[in-house]
Amino acid sequence: MEWGFTRFSKKHFLHLSLGLLVGCWNIQSVVAQSAKDSIFMAQIVAEALNNGHSYKQLGALCKEVGPRLSGSDNAEKGVQWAQQMLSSYGFDSVYTQPVMVPRWERGTEDRVTLLSQNLSELYKYLSENDYNCETYNEAHPKPNPLGIYGLECPALGGSVGGSVLGPLVVVNSERELDSLGGLGQLLGRVVLLNRPFEKDFINTFAAYSSCVTQRVNGAPLCAKYGATGVLVRSMSHRCDLHAHTGVTHYQAGIDSIPIAAVATGVADLLDWLYRQQWEPAQIEMQLGCQTLPDRMSANSIAETRGREFPNKIIAFGGHFDSWDEGEGAHDDGAGCMHTFEALRLLKTLGYQPRHTLRCVWWINEENGLKGALKYAELCANEGQQHIAALESDRGGFVPRGFGLDSSLLALIKPYQPWLAAYGFGELTLGGGGADVGPLKRQDPSVGLVGFIPDSQRYFDVHHAETDVFENVNRRELELGAAAVACMIYLLDQTLD
Amino acid sequence: MEWGFTRFSKKHFLHLSLGLLVGCWNIQSVVAQSAKDSIFMAQIVAEALNNGHSYKQLGALCKEVGPRLSGSDNAEKGVQWAQQMLSSYGFDSVYTQPVMVPRWERGTEDRVTLLSQNLSELYKYLSENDYNCETYNEAHPKPNPLGIYGLECPALGGSVGGSVLGPLVVVNSERELDSLGGLGQLLGRVVLLNRPFEKDFINTFAAYSSCVTQRVNGAPLCAKYGATGVLVRSMSHRCDLHAHTGVTHYQAGIDSIPIAAVATGVADLLDWLYRQQWEPAQIEMQLGCQTLPDRMSANSIAETRGREFPNKIIAFGGHFDSWDEGEGAHDDGAGCMHTFEALRLLKTLGYQPRHTLRCVWWINEENGLKGALKYAELCANEGQQHIAALESDRGGFVPRGFGLDSSLLALIKPYQPWLAAYGFGELTLGGGGADVGPLKRQDPSVGLVGFIPDSQRYFDVHHAETDVFENVNRRELELGAAAVACMIYLLDQTLD
């Protein structure tokens, strides 16, 4: 794309917006809105992009604290960092909300090994599959055969430790699993649950939802047929060499067996190996992970008191904990920064909210939800009334819009053209997320909102070592924060 | 984001679409469309995501050919690769269209050096500015002071060669340039044109447009005041260490002086150095670049003949040439792949087009536009009638929509809800691009369309060594190809 030959719009975004409106929308609904709202939202967006704090604070969180697995020392270091950081902005109040959280720890010497002799066949497979796998996108562009033999297979969160050895069996569906299991062919085996993501879901969360059962319930599904260990294909569209961890559950009355994640590229290799049957491949799993007693942690909260209705609360937040792989940059450092920055933007612009605006960084969303449950419990005990609750937990990608409960959707819809002018005008029915769920179950009148960034790249990095600050784009993150701030502003203005 | 606690839509994208429609759109306009169109567009999207060829062919282009600067041996290697690749798909016809293109070559030993002794001050500056610069995002996370002294400043495309040495002057606006120039303070100086991107344009192309003059016209702007050399701040929002090249022009009657790009992070450093005045910094530029005689190259074309109107053409394409930094992955390998893949998708799905569908990869968009001019000229000579022409030259990012001429906008608008269901429903007025411009100037009745992907990350990599395959996301590219294919389908169905 070259300037000098191409015509660009030279207009400022407000004018761009107008062009967009004329192009896409019935102008009447726009004219009906007051100029005040549109001007203030323009100020929010400009401040977020010109003087934003979300990116530098996410950098600090990722690089000075790092991953924040519930119950870990690092998570506690993070909670302290959060208090210090939030306190430096002079919000009306900044405090923690203590809560006990589970403590599961990865072993320091976890090892999953493929016992196979046919190195040359593996080489051949790898060389023939260059373009089928996105290994160009890797820091180490080609799978190292030594790395393949010593598979990088992190235990899934909650797995028991243990050492098992067994012949590999690969299944691509639950039906295949049940069929082999019924024939007694899983007895003493290590099973790879290899159902891939469906690629033609536009919303990648739908693809995740459709196959994550094999990760969450994989251990009992296999153990009931006598399997001794489980590997689970990573929850990702990408074919690469990064394993994606995540929570897994056991079932009372069924043996708890070791379960670990395997990168999609390695899963493809194991599948090929198994289908070729050119040798009986054996898998050895040695996992040292363990569950320790619960530990005290905390939600982190910052708020600006409401001028008109100080006792009515609009809560918005993300979860502060993360998995131990990567830095929890998109999941959910981004959501924490979106919501902190929304509070900062409104304060910096001198906005006096009608209701109390509360940014909440919930702890332990990934493997327990203890923070969100405690938050809802304390609010109920103290008789705090929430009128809306927004969650950002879909990464720091370019904003697309929001999912809203029906009552809020009707309320916000007239403002859609203004949101669309900034690229975040896709308003859909049904909002919320894991951490605001308990509030709603307690009081069905609370309106929930889910922030929706573009989903295409989320599962490239989700729960993997690649979920690091370097993979967050500054402008995308800043626009997301602006989107959340605009929504909080509109909720505050329109709700009673 | 964790499954097990969060409710996801488990519906397929068609159902998702419907939810979106109910949420955002007047359902009447949808019902008015035939089911046939919606089903076929769903097939296009599914084929692009499940069995797409765009990503693997872009990988081949980037890694087997590489950069494709007009007139270079590599560009010619690329044209041959393109013929072979396109021919392998069995389109009705695949051919080249020879055209002479300019040949500008970078010197092999270009060098721009900062003559400065105060290493410790530089170190101090760098350590204090960690978070202000996105150097976390770099392969080499901290500026190497030796690298800074030997600045990585590639000549701008079209620059003359030469050796100059002069004191550094930094200006941040054209007004500042004219003011200093008027006072005679640029005589014998090397000027850094340091106007930054404005961050609060939502459309990043508007930011580009607003400051690219300093790159395109920087040499005569400075030379008329007696400057001996020019450095130009890279056209990017990012603060990093990658210089962005691009075309530059000279002006008759004004000395042609050497001009080179400088990375934003280095420009900030030079600016700081200059404002500090703790030492008179000198810049030495030694550029070996040169302009050689024009050379024969070619446009690459593949087409499927129309069933009803074989003599009416719908053209769609991107430019095949690129700058010599990086691999021309987003600019404009992505546009080439979007449009080739659109032709392939329609063919693979057995679609019999009413009009002739022609994919054109124009040569020499970056520094001459000779390919597009020749294409329009030959079409005029041969009496070929274009009814529409689409260009993709804004990168391989997630699709947002299209810019269309007013007549086409009216035609396509009824289908907007279906496009929106896939995330590419933003239809705006005013389409086209550099390469389809000559067609329109020749025949104002040709309807132009510009494909519009999300613009937030484009200028991170534009014309820089970072515009490589690794920075293209597979799903984003594939969805872009699906978007282009859907638009070509709709144009073919609705135009006469």
- The reported pLDDT for the residue numbered B90 is 98
**Same domain? A35 vs A159:** no
Name residue, tokens 């409106």. Answer: A21
Chain segment A348-405, per-residue pLDDT in tens? 999 999 999 999 999 999 999 999 999 999 999 999 999 999 999 999 999 999 999 9
A147 pLDDT more than 50? no
Q: Is the CB of B1 less than 8 angstroms away from the CB of A395?
A: yes
CATH number assigned to the domain comprising residue B80: 3.40.630.10
Structure tokens at B132: 């202000």
CB contact under 8 A, A8 and B395: no
pLDDT at A275: 84
Whether A462 is covered by a domain: the verdict is yes
| Structural domain contains residue B6 | no
**Mean pLDDT of the residues in chain B:** 89
Helix (H) or strand (E) holding B339: helix B334-348
Percentage of chain B modeled with pLDDT above 70: 86
How far from each other are the two terminal CA atoms of chain A, in whole angstroms? 49
Q: What phi and psi values does residue A364 have, to the nearest 5 degrees?
A: 70, 35
Please say whether the beta carbons of A397 and A480 come within 8 A: yes
What's the whole-number average pLDDT of chain A?
A: 89
What pLDDT digit, counting tens, does each position of A467-482 carry?
999 999 999 999 999 9
Summarised one tens digit per residue, pLDDT across range B444-458 is 999 999 999 999 999
Let me know whether B359 and B480 are in one domain. Answer: yes
Take residue A121 and report the two structure tokens written for it. 């066949």
In terms of domains, do B309 and B380 share one? yes
Whether residue B312 has pLDDT greater than 50: yes
Give the pLDDT score at A118: 65
Q: What is the mean pLDDT of residues B247-256?
A: 98
The string of DSSP letters for A202-216 reads SSHHHHHHHHTHHHH
Q: For residue B191, what are its two tokens?
A: 């000027």
Rounded mean pLDDT of A192-215? 96
Average pLDDT for residues B89-102, to the nearest whole number? 98
Q: How many CB atoms lie within 10 A of CB A449?
A: 28
List, in sequence order, every residue forming a beta bridge with A284; answer none if it has no partner.
A113, A165
Helix, strand, coil distribution of chain A in percent, nearest 5? 40, 25, 35
Point out the residue among B134, B369, B393 whose CB comes nearest to the CB of A474: B134
Contacts of B7 in chain A (CB under 8 A): 430, 432, 437
Q: Which conformational region is residue B438 in: left (phi greater than 0), alpha (psi within -120 to 50 degrees), or beta?
A: alpha
A267 and A319 housed in the same domain: no
- d(Cα B307, Cα B488) in Å, to the nearest integer? 15
The domain boundary, picked from B288, B305, B322, lies at B288
pLDDT tens figures, B410-431: 999 999 999 999 999 999 999 8
Q: Report residue B218's pLDDT band, with 50, 70 and 90 as the boundaries.
A: very high
Mean pLDDT of B299-307: 98
The complex's ipTM works out to: 0.92
Q: Which of B3, B45, B49 is facing A212, going by the closest CB pair?
A: B3
Quick check: B423 and A400 in contact, CB under 8 A? yes
- Examine the pLDDT at B133 and tell me if it is beyond 70: no
**For position B6, what pLDDT does the model report?**
31
Q: What is the pLDDT of residue B129?
A: 57
Q: What angle do CA A260, A265, A270 make, to 5 degrees?
A: 70
Residue B119 has what pLDDT?
Answer: 59
Q: What is the CATH number of the domain that holds A155?
A: 3.50.30.30
pLDDT in tens, B138-176: 333 344 444 455 677 899 999 999 999 999 999 999 999
Which two tokens mark A238?
Answer: 């990408």
Task: Please state the rounded mean pLDDT for residues B15-37.
Answer: 50
Residue of A nearest to B335 (CA): A1
Cα–Cα nearest to A5, from B436, B114, B128, B289:
B436
Q: Which domain holds residue A470?
A: 13-102+295-494
pTM equals 0.92
Total domains in the fold of chain B: 2
Which band of pLDDT confidence, cut at 50, 70 and 90, is reported for residue B83? very high
Q: What are the residues facing B401 on neighbouring strands?
A: B426, B452
**B313-323: average pLDDT:** 98
Confidence of residue B54 (pLDDT cuts 50, 70, 90): very high
DSSP A244: B
Q: How far apart are CA B56 and CA A73, in angstroms?
A: 44
Helix or strand holding residue A115 (H, E)? strand A111-115
Same domain, B329 and B243: no
Q: In sequence order, which residues have a C-beta less than 8 Å from that of residue A146 and are 6 or more positions away?
A: none
Task: Classify residue B187: in a domain, yes or no.
Answer: yes
Please tell me the predicted confidence (pLDDT) of residue B376. Answer: 98
CA distance B430 to chain A (A): 9
Q: What is the pLDDT of residues A78-130, one digit of tens each?
A: 999 999 999 999 999 999 999 999 999 999 888 888 877 665 666 666 666 54
- For residues B77 and B219, what is the distance between their CA atoms, to the nearest angstrom? 32
Cβ of A456 within 8 Å of Cβ of B10? The answer is no
**pLDDT band at residue B32 under the 50/70/90 scheme:** very low
- Contact check, Cβ <8 Å, A398/B216: no
Verify that B72 and B112 share a domain, yes or no.
Answer: no
**What would the pLDDT profile of B350-396 be if each residue is shown by its tens digit?**
999 999 999 999 999 999 999 999 999 999 999 999 999 999 999 99
Contact B238 A394 (CB under 8 A): no
Cβ distance B473 to A479 less than 8 Å, yes or no, reads no
Which residues in chain B have Cβ-Cβ distances shorter than 8 Å to A22? 429
If asked whether residues A232 and A351 sit together in one domain, one would say: no
Mutate to test the interface with B, among A29, A54, A202, A400 (most CBs of B within 10 A): A202
Cβ A265 vs Cβ A241: under 8 Å: yes
Q: Which is more confident, A150 or A409?
A: A409
For the segment A284-340, what is each residue's pLDDT rounded down to a tens digit? 999 999 999 999 999 999 999 999 999 999 999 999 999 999 999 999 999 999 999
Backbone angles phi, psi at A464, to 5 degrees: -115, 170
| A367·B201 Cβ contact <8 A | no
**Which tokens is B133 given?**
């610069």
| B462/chain A closest Cα distance in angstroms | 8
Assigned token pair, A91? 């919000």
How far A311 CA lies from chain B's nearest CA (Å)?
A: 28
- Given an 8 Å threshold on Cβ–Cβ distance, is B3 in contact with A216? yes
Distance to chain B for A115, nearest Cα, Å: 32
Do A440 and A408 contact (CB within 8 A), yes or no?
no
Determine, yes or no, domain membership for A76. Answer: yes
Range among A4-13, A34-43, A147-156, A353-362 rated most confident: A353-362
A44-A470-B140 Cα angle (round to 5): 125
Residue A247 and residue B2: Cβ atoms within 8 Å? yes
- Give the model's pLDDT for residue A120: 65
- The span from the CA of B212 to the CA of B198, in Å, is 11
Q: Which tokens in the block code for residue B99?
A: 């055209």
In angstroms, what separates the C-alpha of A59 from chain B's closest C-alpha? 8
Measured in angstroms, the CA of A414 and the nearest CA of chain B are apart by: 11
Which residues, in sequence order, are bridge partners of residue A261?
A232
Out of B271, B288, B305, a domain closes at B288
What span, in angstroms and rounded, lies between the C-alpha atoms of A381 and A300? Answer: 18
Is pLDDT at B7 greater than 70 in this prediction?
A: no
Assigned token pair, A254: 């069924």
A8 is a domain residue = no
In a domain, A141, yes or no: yes
Residues with Cβ within 8 Å of A95's Cβ and at least 6 positions away in sequence, in order, are: A301
**Closest CA in chain B for residue A433:** B6
Distance CA A325, CA A155 (A): 11
pLDDT for the residue numbered B35: 85
**Domain boundary at B229, B259, B288, which?**
B288
pLDDT tens string B97-120: 999 999 999 998 888 888 776 656
Q: What is the pLDDT of residue B493?
A: 96
Least confident of A460-464, B2-6, B273-277, B464-468: B2-6
Check whether residue A370 and residue A437 sit in a common domain: yes
Question: What pLDDT score was predicted for residue B117?
Answer: 66
Look at A470 and B137 and tell me if their CB atoms are within 8 Å: yes
Let me know whether A283 and A307 are in one domain. no
Whole-angstrom distance, CA of residue B390 vs CA of residue B435: 9
A131 and A253 housed in the same domain: yes
> For the stretch B91-117, what's the b/e string if a residue is b when 16 or more beta carbons lie within 10 angstroms of its beta carbon?
beebebbebebbbbbbeeebbbebebe
- Give a yes or no: residue B7 inside a domain: no
Least confident of A135-149, A312-326, A421-435, B431-445: A135-149
- On the question of pLDDT at A148 being above 60, the answer is no
Query: Would you tell me how many other CB atoms lie within 10 Å of the CB of residue A183?
Result: 10
With cut-offs at 50, 70 and 90, classify the pLDDT of residue B307.
Answer: very high
Residues A133 and A50 in one domain: no
- Name every chain B residue with its beta carbon within 8 A of the beta carbon of A16: 201-203, 206
| Average pLDDT estimate for A198-220 | 96
Q: Region B65-84: what's the mean pLDDT?
A: 98
pLDDT computed for residue B5 by the predictor: 32
Residues B185 and B209 in one domain: yes
Query: Alpha carbon of A322 to those of A76, A109, A246: distances in Å?
Result: 12, 21, 10
Tokens of B335: 């546009």
